[in-house]
Amino acid sequence: MRPKQPMKVWSTTLLPSRFLKIDWDNNESKSKLHKPLNSPTTAVKNSKKQLCTFERDFVGKQPDINAARVLPSGTIINSSLENRDFFPHKFLRSLQDFFRFAHPLEPNLISASLPVLVVHRQPNNYELWVNNHLVGSLPTEMAAKSMQKRLTKLVKSTNFNANQLRPALVDGLPALMAGNRFLSRIETKISRRFHQSADLLAIEWVNNLRSAFKASTLTLVEGQKQMYGVTPSTTKLSGLASWYGGYFHGRLTANGEIYNKNELTVAHKSLPFNTYLQVTNLKTNKSVIVRVNDRGPYIPPRSLDLSQAAARCLGSEIAGVVPYEAVILHSSEPKITLKPTSLSSIKPQPVRQLALIPEL
């Protein structure tokens, strides 16, 4: 009999044939290992289906976040991702990426692992990405990093509920909120840059965030009701609605504001200024909430003169004049402010003071 010799045991792993065909030194092949569950282009297009957004140059043209890693024009700034380079060799790092994405994440671990990134693609364009979803674009690095810190803090929170993501008016400006937590505000220069209503941008960005966290998105009217804090009354109006745009853009309205065709406003002959109306186009059944800031129209039998943006939301921009039904809305929530208040400055209308998310 032969003397016993130590037995060698080898452990093997079966790999698919496509794994052997990958050129591990090619950056292009790395993206072929997996396809993100939610592409950023799809996320932006989904939000457009729910809102009456304007056509913008960046919609549908931005590369995904993996492309931003390798493009010279796209630089990731202050990434919140954990360091994934556990192995020094490029081949082993690729193996790590391959097996990490081979199994989907458990639902209860998704919120804890969402990456929050700032991508600088061109001057004055700092994109905020969450889980491969483009949330929005900010004009300065400081603003983008500030929102990134708050979102990162939110992602790590144990009591976070994505259904609490909502738009609101904070000190009169549209903002993104998570419950009573302030995330970011849509400053005037941002809405002017996109030639779009700041209200629409806030709702769109909230919907992009909700999609990133796999929560249901808001319709336009749902988002507006949450933002303005309004509820329907029993008073209704009906008649014909027209719209006015470019010729009056930049001129004074009857209440002293500068008319902006991209804002959601309306002219009425007698309703008090700042009255909110939920207007429905009876031909398309589309609805939008508008604020009275002007007088008119003076061509009978028309009784409402919508801004161009509002007409686009109702699908009446081409028709010009459409039959409508409107409901007067009442304010039902206190105003939100981030400014410190004192007893001497308290007004009869209640004001709610919010605390910012602590900086990291």
Name every residue whose Cβ is closer than 8 Å to that of residue 187 and which is 6 or more positions away in sequence: 143, 173, 198
3-state secondary structure of 348: coil
pLDDT at 159: 86
Q: Give the pLDDT confidence of 215-269 residue by residue, as tens digits.
A: 999 999 999 999 999 999 999 999 999 999 988 999 999 999 999 999 999 999 9
Q: What is the mean pLDDT of residues 49-67?
A: 44
pLDDT digits (tens, 9 = 90+) for 76-113: 775 544 434 333 444 444 544 554 444 443 333 344 44
The whole-chain average pLDDT of the chain stands at: 75
Could you give the CA distance from residue 291 to residue 278 in angstroms, rounded to a whole number? 9
- pLDDT band for 132, please (50, 70, 90 cuts): confident
- Give the pLDDT band of residue 348 (cuts 50, 70, 90): low
What does the alpha-carbon distance between residue 126 and residue 96 come to, in Å, rounded to a whole number?
30
Paired tokens of 97: 């990426």
pTM, to two decimals: 0.70
Of the pLDDT bands very low, low, confident and very high (cuts 50, 70, 90), residue 294 is very high
**Can you tell me the distance from the alpha carbon of 182 to that of 114, in angstroms, rounded to the nearest whole number?**
19
- Number of helices (H), then strands (E), belonging to the chain: the values are 11, 15
The DSSP call for residue 252 is: B
Q: What's the one-letter identity of residue 314?
A: L
Query: Which residues fall within 8 angstroms of residue 233, CB to CB, at 6 or more apart?
Result: 327, 328, 329, 330
Question: Would you say the C-alpha torsion 110, 47, 358, 78 has a positive or negative sign?
Answer: positive
The C-alpha angle with vertex 226 and arms to 222 and 232, in degrees rounded to 5, equals 70
Of 112, 153, 154, 119, which Cα lies nearest the Cα of 133? 119
CATH code for residues 230-331:
2.40.40.10
Domain ranges of the chain: 20-223, 230-331
